[in-house]
Amino acid sequence: MSLVTLLPFIVLIGAMILMTRSAKKKQQQAADMRNQLQPGSGVRTIGGMYATVKEVNEDTLLLDAGPGVELLFAKNAIGSVLTDDEYNRIVHGIEHDLKSDVVPDDASSLTETDEPSDDASAASDDKPIDLGKKDVSDDAADEAAEVKADTAEAKSDEAEPKKTDGESDAK
């Protein structure tokens, strides 16, 4: 057999060794994290429940999920151990102000001023604004056109007999 024929097998074996090493490393880190648990730590289970560790045993944990709610979990069911700040932020909604300058979500607060402007007060009036341009001669012409349309409608109504419920235009 030549080296070219063996090369794909060698690459596959090398990739399998690297993947198993990284998986073992992750498992070891998870086991170390679970072994370092102590009462009072905030944890998140693999099911997504947040609780405080009340008691640590060899393979189990007693978790306090709320007032009067104590749950017994296997250590393997702990997804992560949370820092105190992270636990308080998620469970109690307590945020620490690490930044003094907060960037707003939109730019509207950046453009507002303390004094009301003339444009803003004009826009808030309750009177409707007519933007159309009308002359007196246009009004007279509009009225004449309406009268003509009404008379034409009346003549067409007289020429055709009115239809009853049973008749239709279908052919």
Collect all residues with Cβ–Cβ distance below 8 Å to 65 and sequence separation of at least 6: 49, 50, 51, 71
126: phi then psi, degrees, rounded to nearest 5: -85, -10
Q: Give the model's pLDDT for residue 110.
A: 64
Are 52 and 63 in contact by the 8 Å Cβ rule? The answer is yes
pTM: 0.44
Nearest-angstrom CA–CA distance, 69 and 65:
6
pLDDT tens, residue by residue, 59-74: 889 999 888 899 999 9
pLDDT tens, residue by residue, 78-120: 888 888 888 888 887 777 655 555 666 676 666 666 555 555 5
Domains identified in the chain and CATH numbers: 7-96 (2.30.30)
pLDDT tens, residue by residue, 2-57: 888 888 899 999 999 988 888 888 888 888 888 788 888 899 999 989 999 999 88
Are 61 and 37 in contact by the 8 Å Cβ rule? The answer is yes
pLDDT band (50, 70, 90) for residue 163: low
